[in-house]
Amino acid sequence: MSGWSHRHVLDLASFSVEDFATVLELAQRFRSLPVAGARKLPALQGRLMTSLFFEPSTRTRSSFELAAKRLSAEVQSFSPSASSLSKGESLLDTARTYVAMGADILVVRHRCAGVPHSLARDLDRCGERVAVLSAGDGLHSHPSQGLLDLFTLARHFSPEAPGPASLMGRRIVIVGDVLHSRVARSNLWALTGCGADVVLCAPPTLLPECFADFVAAPPPGQRADPVAARGRVQVVRSLEEALPGADAVMTLRLQKERMQQHLLTSLDTYHRRYGLSHRRLALCGDGVPVLHPGPVNRGVEIAGELLDDPDRSLVEEQVRNGIPIRMALLYLLAATAPLPPPLTAA
Ligand code: ASP
């Protein structure tokens, strides 16, 4: 694809507006192609995608595997507990073993931030031609989730031409456990990169004030910001202040495991102050949609009736869009065959 220069996809801080446009355009083409079942595309024929998941996953792993199969790639999965890692083999040697078996793309999820980066750097140093795609690392990054959220919003605002311009000047509210969310961090780079203003909303224990400067400087290791003019980020403590004027609201999973650290006084209080419901959403305009990356705690960060309301909830749409977005990423990193010409109908 013209202008695409990424050998690996590890975060969205290094994406330019053109990179976002390339991914969204391809995803839109994949969404409009009938590629299920026997009608696979030959684009990744002869390629092997290996998923190395060191952390549990429902949506991300299955949708990467489905995306690879729809592009005719072979798929191989690794289970850490049944592997030689327990005998002391290093992560790099494990990855090189899969490369020796023919892996062209490694999709890596790890509970520690930076693991996909280190692996990509070490594999490059060893001269391996494999691409590394992060499927979520610690609190740092979840690029394919950030992109599928971007695609879902862009399709909501401009169903026929969902590009970065669909986000320009929009006000997107992200509410919940921002501090512990790699999804929020990836969304901050993606949304502001496409010109949206992001309002973050949570109590101080889940959202330190410094998040207001999150995209103000390029991240460590990056000399310059690839986006010339980003949207703004604002930190607001009350939903009543955050919601008026919102174009979309994204709520994050409240990580119940944090309760032991007493970051919240009670789930009940949290729901009363930060939980989304139809009544709360009335503070925004009519038809403003709600997103959630899943898994969901029903009745905590979002009321069950709102989650299940097809007129307001884009949660199932996010899951559906995960497949074409991951097809686009796999295609960009490893295609061996061109795509058929675009269809006009979405
Ligand atoms: N599924 C997302 C992730 O892996 C969100 C979450 O777990 O809360 O980060």
Q: Read off the pLDDT of residues 72-100 as tens digits, 9 standing for 90 and up.
A: 999 999 887 777 777 778 999 999 999 99
CB atoms within 10 A of CB 166: 22
- Cα distances (Å, whole numbers) of residue 24 to 18, 38, 112, 125, 144: 10, 25, 28, 31, 12
Which of 237-251, 252-266, 268-282 has the weakest average pLDDT? 252-266
Q: How far is the CA of 180 from the centre of ligand 1 (A)?
A: 10
User: Is 293 touching ligand 1 by the criterion CB < 6 Å?
Assistant: yes
User: Is 136 touching ligand 1 by the criterion CB < 6 Å?
Assistant: yes
Question: In the predicted model, what is the mean pLDDT of residues 1-20?
Answer: 92
Give every strand in the sheet of 131-137, ordered side by side. Answer: 74-78, 48-53, 105-110, 131-137
Q: How far is the CA of 200 from the centre of ligand 1 (A)?
A: 17
- What is the model's pLDDT at position 219? 77
Separation of alpha carbons 181 and 61, rounded Å: 18
Residue-averaged pLDDT of the chain: 92
Q: How far is the CA of 295 from the centre of ligand 1 (A)?
A: 7
- Closest ligand 1 atom, CA of 59? 1
Q: How far is the CA of 279 from the centre of ligand 1 (A)?
A: 26
> Where residue 346 falls among pLDDT bands split at 50, 70, 90?
very low
Q: How far is the CA of 57 from the centre of ligand 1 (A)?
A: 8
Question: One fold for both 17-141+320-334 and 143-315?
Answer: yes
* DSSP-assigned states of every residue in 275-298: -B-HHHHTTS-TT--EE--S---B
Q: Does the domain made of 143-315 have the CATH classification 3.30.565.10?
A: no
- What is the model's pLDDT at position 343? 52
91 in Cβ contact with 65 (< 8 Å): no
User: Is 41 touching ligand 1 by the criterion CB < 6 Å?
Assistant: no
DSSP state of 12: S
User: Is 142 touching ligand 1 by the criterion CB < 6 Å?
Assistant: yes
pLDDT for residue 220 is more than 90:
no
190 in Cβ contact with 150 (< 8 Å): yes
- What is the model's pLDDT at position 326? 98
**Euclidean distance between the first and final Cα of the chain, in Å?**
21
Its pTM stands at: 0.95
- Closest ligand 1 atom, CA of 55? 4
Question: In the predicted model, what is the mean pLDDT of residues 181-202?
Answer: 98
Q: Which fold has domain 17-141+320-334?
A: Rossmann fold (3.40.50)
Question: In the predicted model, what is the mean pLDDT of residues 225-243?
Answer: 96
- What is the model's pLDDT at position 341? 66
Percent of the chain with pLDDT over 90: 81
- What is the model's pLDDT at position 2? 63
Separation of alpha carbons 161 and 141, rounded Å: 27
Nearest to 174 by CA among 186, 165, 162: 186
Q: Spell out the domain ranges in the chain.
A: 17-141+320-334, 143-315
- What is the model's pLDDT at position 345? 45
CB contact burial 213-225 (16+ within 10 A = b; e otherwise): ebbeeeeeeeeeb
Measured by CA distance, the residue closest to atom 4 of ligand 1 is 136
User: Is 182 touching ligand 1 by the criterion CB < 6 Å?
Assistant: yes
Percent of the chain with pLDDT over 70: 94
- What is the model's pLDDT at position 36? 64
User: Is 183 touching ligand 1 by the criterion CB < 6 Å?
Assistant: yes
Which of 65-69, 190-194, 218-222 has the weakest average pLDDT? 218-222
125 in Cβ contact with 295 (< 8 Å): no
> Where residue 224 falls among pLDDT bands split at 50, 70, 90?
very high
User: In whole angstroms, how large is the CA radius of gyration of the chain?
Assistant: 20
- What is the model's pLDDT at position 342? 61
